[in-house]
Structure 1
Amino acid sequence: MLYYFYLEISARRAANELNINYNVVHRKFMHFRRCISNYCNNETRKLYGELELDESYFGGRRKGNRGRGAKNKAIVFGILERKGKIHTVIVQDVSADTLMNEIKNKTKKGSVFYTDGWKSYASLEQYGKHNIIDHSKELVSNHNHINGIEGFWSFAKERFHKYHGISKTNYPFYLKEMEFRFNHRNENVYKLLIDMSIVRRVV
């Protein structure tokens, strides 16, 4: 079952091909996602250097209203370390208090931060070097951009489109799966999954 999960084959298709009850496969797949979530959340190294920050809205049918939340949508905040990893978290809002609390928990002071002009990032100048990207006024330069994290949003949303009716409770586990796959996209993900001792028992 783990190999089907690694290949991003749906639980329903895996159940059909393995001739196993769908609910059994779905539970195993969710177990794998919880293992991955624990693996990601246990990462204690703080991100440092050139960091791209952004928020995006996942799920639901209505377009998100930035700053006031979005009905039926999950607000995801991301921090991407250039030439490194991305950290994602579902947040309740995009206020300065919420975002700065996450930034201070997951990044080292003195980093170089790249963001758009959203007001909640204003106090970043007291925590490191803050570069603001204004997409409406300037062309993207070699360094002054947030293309990396925008690439992750596309990577994740393309995969989320395959799923239907993800519960609010399970959404964080799917998100961490996307984070894990993105962070290890140039590695042997199947071997990494096998090496997780907590997963090994149910391959």
Structure 2
Amino acid sequence: MLKGAHLTERKCREIVYLFCEDLTATQISHITGVSRITINAYLKMIRRKIASSCEKEHPFFPHRNDNSNIPSSVFFAFSKWNNHIYTSALESMNRDQISDLNKMDPEQMKEKSSLMQAVVDISNWKIYRLDQSANGNGRAVMDEISGFWGLTKNRLLKFRGLNRNTIYLHIKECEFRYNYRNEDMNSLILQLINLRPAD
């Protein structure tokens, strides 16, 4: 799974299983007896594979080059398409643009929401709906996008602080877990990894 790693296949499969159970690196380290540093390296590799898979499925935004850096943005677009939720890092977004979202007229909102239904500011745990005008009364829309954000927020808060350089991987993991919540997560992850050394 990792170049230079010396864990048995059985131990690697145990790590994958515990990851699928959504345990933290510290919890997995305690259960497996593997150092937290090694566990973190494995989890990062798994999350990179997940992110790459999610990017390839994204219907609106192009797939990143595998050699490109992981986006470090705290702003993300949420979109729903064919009963799946998709997330995209908005690297050019800034706080001024976020505040401008609330000032858009309905036509501007409609134009933007054709590609994304919401923008999320992870640093402030806020979601800005671009399609709120669609319900005609300006009230918050409670639907799959809001449900996904609620689950994502709760999941990320348990880490008690995320490194900005890994937020993207965690968001993509949330997207993957949400879209395949009714599937066998362990089998899906093993297929992604294919038990070959990480790229």
Question: Is the structural similarity TM-score above 0.5?
Answer: yes
Q: How many residues align?
A: 152
Q: Distance in 1 between matches of 2:75 and 2:51?
A: 18
Residue 29 of structure 1: aligned partner: 43
Q: Does 1:14 align with 2:28?
A: yes
Residue 76 of structure 1: aligned partner: 76
Residue 119 of structure 1: aligned partner: 104
Contact 2:110-2:131 within 8 A present in 1 as well: no
Higher relative contact order (CA 8 A, sep 6+): 2
* Paired residues for 1:130-145 under 5 Å: 132-134=131-133, 137=137, 145=141
TM-score normalised by length of structure 1: 0.62
Residue among 155, 167, 172 paired with 2:151? 155
Residues 1:124 and 1:186: Cα distance change in structure 2 (over 3 Å): same
Q: Give unpaired runs (5+ residues) of structure 1.
A: 48-72, 99-115
Q: Distance in 2 between matches of 1:127 and 1:37?
A: 23
Deviation at 1:199, TM superposition (A): 4.8
Residues 1:23 and 1:148: Cα distance change in structure 2 (over 3 Å): same
Contact 1:117-1:132 within 8 A present in 2 as well: no
Contact 1:85-1:183 within 8 A present in 2 as well: yes
User: Alpha-carbon deviations, 1:112-158, whole Å to 9, x = none?
Assistant: xxxx9761861645996x99535793678xxxx45210111001011
* Paired residues for 1:86-105 under 5 Å: 86-91=85-90, 92-93=92-93
Q: Does 1:200 align with 2:186?
A: no
Contact 1:117-1:133 within 8 A present in 2 as well: no
Paired AA for residue 40 in structure 2 = H
User: Alpha-carbon deviations, 1:91-112, whole Å to 9, x = none?
Assistant: 14279x99xxxxxxxxxxxxxx
Q: Distance in 2 between matches of 1:15 and 1:133?
A: 44
Q: Distance in 2 between matches of 1:147 and 1:179?
A: 16
Paired AA for residue 84 in structure 1 = N
Contact 2:47-2:173 within 8 A present in 1 as well: yes
Amino-acid identity (%): 20
Matched position secondary structure for 1:33 = helix
Paired AA for residue 45 in structure 2 = H
Residues 1:41 and 1:155: Cα distance change in structure 2 (over 3 Å): same
C-alpha RMSD of the superposition = 3.5
Matched position secondary structure for 1:25 = helix
Paired AA for residue 163 in structure 1 = F
Q: Distance in 2 between matches of 1:179 and 1:173?
A: 10
Residue 65 of structure 1: aligned partner: none
Runs of 4+ in 1 over 6 A off after TM superposition: none
Contact 2:76-2:88 within 8 A present in 1 as well: yes
Residues 1:84 and 1:12: Cα distance change in structure 2 (over 3 Å): same
Residue 189 of structure 1: aligned partner: 185
Residues 1:149 and 1:200: Cα distance change in structure 2 (over 3 Å): same
